[in-house]
């Protein structure tokens, strides 16, 4: 009862409304991450009570992960890495005249994913946290390797080109100081490259700049025959969005728990959750060929799981004080500042606060539906702009967004370089999405591999010596083996897969 009373506190509701609006802005602007948003909230939390402070963080992050889809669908630039997996689908649907429908589907399923995440969190937090503590560098290495195999399922191109893209992404991830010996690699003497290429800069370069280059080339298409971009009426969009979301309830129900578990694991968050569930969704679908060309199923699976992962990241933070990601790292600081030291007994010590926290989590996801809806309506006005005006706007947003990541003009050089690279890849028929996955997972993969090698002193056997690591390792090797076999087969005998792209000459 106390929990309900504290939840109906108008100050708390106001906090949630303001923070979901704030989160929408952050998420929709490329370059601004949820981490930055939360770091800026910290000074305000000094003046809040514990529940209000944590609620502010939760509301901001959940909405930011959803709002990343807004710019993904409307501008083909994912606002956060968690939206990168299905940006091709959502942007295609938006381009075909249903931008609001796809965003409302996204909003409804994101909220549902978030709510399922909270329910799992409130039922199984201590158990999940205990599970997460079993993950050492061996398990994380296998997990990252498994995550990379998603690229093969996600991209629609021929296997060699998918692999080429993946390796380009991994090569980008090699830039910077290495983990094992602390040596700068491929930095050409630039200090700004020591930390590697941030994946937000990579995304902006790969998606936004390539889009601009494409537009620059087809000037005639932009100048005269402006596509009258259709934006469907709001009412129909909401009704359709609701109908589609309800029709796919099974997808939400199966992907959200996967998202929670990935969120619980250290070092893997919403972005990995989205990739994995998108790949799973395509693998399990009856119509895998539609993925990447504007299919709702992948958006629903990945969109709900990345919001569920937001909740998952809180379990190790609450129970062991180990942050699941950089957002929860800040949140732990705030928790301790409010006298709520994390620990396995946090439910006994401060049960009321924790359950109120879960309630606030739930409420944030509900209120997000309304504030997120407003954000969709405002943002979709952008599509009414002629493209010749939209393009400069995208450029300004991308460059300043990139600057915000590093606080340095150097990010502009990185964005140009990656934009050119991305454009060359498009010309060469190489898909972009696997490269992004490579950039996201490359550092994790190498770090955990080198850490494991140092621990095992160069032996491979310890990679399989633990229960979970053995299961993950065998699964990874099987899946990669199958992928490679498939790839080799298409080369030896050009089968139906490669025939698809053949042009009669």
What minimum distance in Å lies between the beta carbon of 373 and another protein?
A: 20
Under rule CB under 8 A, how many of the chain's residues touch another protein? Answer: 128
Q: 212 vs 377, which CB is nearer to another protein?
A: 212
Residue 189 three-state SS: coil
Residues 177, 184: contact at Cβ < 8 Å? yes
DSSP letter (8 states) at residue 224: T
Q: 169 vs 259, which CB is nearer to another protein?
A: 169
**Residue selected from 17, 97, 126, 136 as contacting another protein according to rule CB under 8 A:** 136
Q: 185 vs 236, which CB is nearer to another protein?
A: 185
Q: Which stretch binds another protein (CB under 8 A): 253-261, 281-289, 293-301, 339-347?
A: 339-347
Told to check if 327 binds another protein by CB under 8 A, we report yes
CA distance 7 to 15: 11
CA dist 278 → 58, 163, 274, 448, 463 (Å): 24, 18, 6, 24, 27
> Which residue from 43, 110, 42, 111 is spatially nearest to 82, judged by alpha carbons?
110
Q: Which of residues 250-279 bind another protein (CB under 8 A)?
A: 266-267
**Residue selected from 10, 228, 233, 339 as contacting another protein according to rule CB under 8 A:** 339
Q: 132 vs 237, which CB is nearer to another protein?
A: 132
CA distance 368 to 24: 9
Q: 28 vs 112, which CB is nearer to another protein?
A: 28
Sign of CA dihedral 148, 152, 158, 159: positive
Residues 226, 387: contact at Cβ < 8 Å? yes
Q: 35 vs 285, which CB is nearer to another protein?
A: 35
What minimum distance in Å lies between the beta carbon of 423 and another protein?
A: 7
Told to check if 332 binds another protein by CB under 8 A, we report yes
CA dist 318 → 134, 311, 347, 430, 468 (Å): 17, 11, 9, 43, 23
CA dist 455 → 322, 452, 477 (Å): 21, 5, 21
Q: 103 vs 425, which CB is nearer to another protein?
A: 425
Q: 3 vs 28, which CB is nearer to another protein?
A: 28
Find all residues with CB under 8 Å of 484, minimum gap 6, and list them: none
Find all residues with CB under 8 Å of 97, minimum gap 6, and list them: 229, 230, 231, 232
* One character per residue 442-481, x = contact with another protein (rule: CB under 8 A): ---xxx-xxx-xxx-xx-----------------------
CA distance 62 to 366: 11
**Residue selected from 32, 73, 107, 111 as contacting another protein according to rule CB under 8 A:** 32
What minimum distance in Å lies between the beta carbon of 157 and another protein?
A: 10
**Residue selected from 2, 348, 467, 502 as contacting another protein according to rule CB under 8 A:** 502
Residue pointed to by tokens 């095992």: 456
Q: 211 vs 301, which CB is nearer to another protein?
A: 211
Q: Which of residues 369-428 bind another protein (CB under 8 A)?
A: 387-389, 391-393, 395-397, 399-401, 403-404, 406-409, 412-413, 416, 420, 423-424, 427-428
> Which residue from 240, 198, 256 is spatially nearest to 403, judged by alpha carbons?
198
> Which residue from 10, 82, 15, 11 is spatially nearest to 361, judged by alpha carbons?
15
Q: Which stretch binds another protein (CB under 8 A): 25-33, 242-250, 295-303, 306-314?
A: 25-33
**Residue selected from 11, 40, 227, 378 as contacting another protein according to rule CB under 8 A:** 40
Q: 351 vs 392, which CB is nearer to another protein?
A: 392
Burial of 452 (0-12, 13-18, 19+ CB in 10 A): buried
Residue 284 three-state SS: helix
CA distance 485 to 149: 13
**Residue selected from 29, 237, 252, 418 as contacting another protein according to rule CB under 8 A:** 29
What minimum distance in Å lies between the beta carbon of 4 and another protein?
A: 29
Q: Which of residues 46-105 bind another protein (CB under 8 A)?
A: 46
Find all residues with CB under 8 Å of 212, minimum gap 6, and list them: 391, 394, 395, 419
Q: 122 vs 498, which CB is nearer to another protein?
A: 498
CA distance 191 to 170: 20
Q: Which of residues 177-236 bind another protein (CB under 8 A)?
A: 177-186, 191-195, 212-213, 215-217, 219, 222-223
Q: Which stretch binds another protein (CB under 8 A): 176-184, 238-246, 280-288, 356-364?
A: 176-184
> Which residue from 370, 89, 385, 111 is spatially nearest to 252, judged by alpha carbons?
111
What minimum distance in Å lies between the beta carbon of 287 and another protein?
A: 25
CA distance 443 to 203: 16
Q: 106 vs 325, which CB is nearer to another protein?
A: 325
Find all residues with CB under 8 Å of 326, minimum gap 6, and list them: 35
What minimum distance in Å lies between the beta carbon of 166 and another protein?
A: 8
Q: Which of residues 145-164 bind another protein (CB under 8 A)?
A: 158-161, 163-164
Q: 285 vs 451, which CB is nearer to another protein?
A: 451
CA distance 243 to 170: 40
CA distance 77 to 97: 18
Q: Which of residues 343-362 bind another protein (CB under 8 A)?
A: 343-345
What minimum distance in Å lies between the beta carbon of 356 and another protein?
A: 20
What minimum distance in Å lies between the beta carbon of 135 and another protein?
A: 6
Told to check if 497 binds another protein by CB under 8 A, we report no
CA distance 414 to 201: 7
**Residue selected from 39, 124, 369, 470 as contacting another protein according to rule CB under 8 A:** 39
């Amino acid at each position: 009862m106390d929990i309900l009373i504290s939840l109906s506190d108008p100050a708390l509701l106001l906090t949630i409304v303001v923070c979901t609006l704030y989160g929408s802005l952050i998420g929709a602007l490329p370059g601004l991450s949820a981490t930055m948003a939360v770091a800026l909230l910290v000074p305000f939390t000094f003046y809040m009570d514990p529940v209000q402070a944590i609620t502010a963080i939760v509301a901001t992050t959940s909405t930011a992960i959803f709002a990343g889809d807004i710019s993904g669908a409307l501008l083909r630039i994912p606002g956060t890495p968690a939206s990168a997996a299905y940006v091709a689908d959502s942007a295609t649907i938006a381009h075909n005249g249903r931008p609001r429908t796809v965003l409302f589907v996204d909003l409804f399923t994101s909220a549902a994913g978030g709510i399922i995440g909270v329910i799992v969190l409130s039922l199984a937090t201590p158990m999940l946290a205990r599970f997460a503590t079993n993950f050492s560098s061996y398990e994380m290495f296998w997990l990252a390797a498994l995550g990379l195999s998603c690229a093969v399922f996600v991209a629609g191109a021929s296997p060699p080109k998918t692999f080429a893209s993946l390796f380009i992404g991994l090569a980008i991830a090699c830039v910077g100081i290495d983990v094992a010996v602390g040596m700068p690699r491929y930095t050409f003497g630039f200090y700004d490259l020591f930390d590697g290429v941030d994946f937000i800069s990579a995304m902006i370069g790969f998606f936004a700049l390539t889009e601009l280059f494409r537009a620059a080339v087809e000037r005639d298409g932009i100048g005269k025959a402006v596509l009258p971009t259709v934006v469907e009426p709001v009412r129909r969009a909401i009704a359709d969005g609701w109908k589609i979301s309800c029709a796919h309830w099974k997808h939400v129900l199966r992907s959200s728990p996967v998202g929670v578990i990935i969120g619980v694991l250290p070092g893997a968050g919403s972005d990995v959750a989205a990739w994995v569930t998108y790949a799973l969704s395509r693998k399990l679908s009856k119509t895998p060929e539609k993925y990447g060309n504007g299919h709702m199923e992948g958006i629903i699976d990945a969109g709900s799981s990345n919001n569920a992962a937001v909740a998952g990241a809180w379990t190790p933070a609450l129970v062991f004080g180990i942050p699941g990601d950089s957002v929860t790292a800040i949140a732990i600081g705030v928790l301790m500042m409010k006298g709520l030291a994390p620990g396995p007994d946090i439910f006994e010590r401060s049960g009321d606060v924790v359950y109120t926290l879960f309630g606030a989590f739930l409420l944030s996801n509900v209120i997000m539906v309304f504030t997120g809806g407003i954000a969709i309506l405002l943002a979709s006005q952008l599509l009414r702009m002629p493209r010749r005006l939209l393009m400069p706007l995208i450029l300004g947003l991308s460059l300043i967004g990139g600057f915000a990541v590093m606080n340095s003009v150097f990010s502009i050089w990185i964005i140009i370089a990656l934009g050119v690279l991305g454009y060359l890849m498009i010309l060469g028929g190489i898909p972009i999405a696997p490269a992004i996955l490579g950039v996201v997972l490359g550092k994790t993969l190498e770090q955990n591999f080198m850490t494991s090698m140092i621990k095992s002193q160069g032996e491979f056997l310890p990679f399989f010596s633990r229960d979970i690591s053995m299961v993950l390792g065998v699964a990874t090797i099987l899946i990669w083996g199958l992928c490679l076999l498939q790839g080799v087969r298409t080369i030896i005998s050009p089968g139906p897969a490669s025939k698809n792209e053949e042009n009669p000459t």
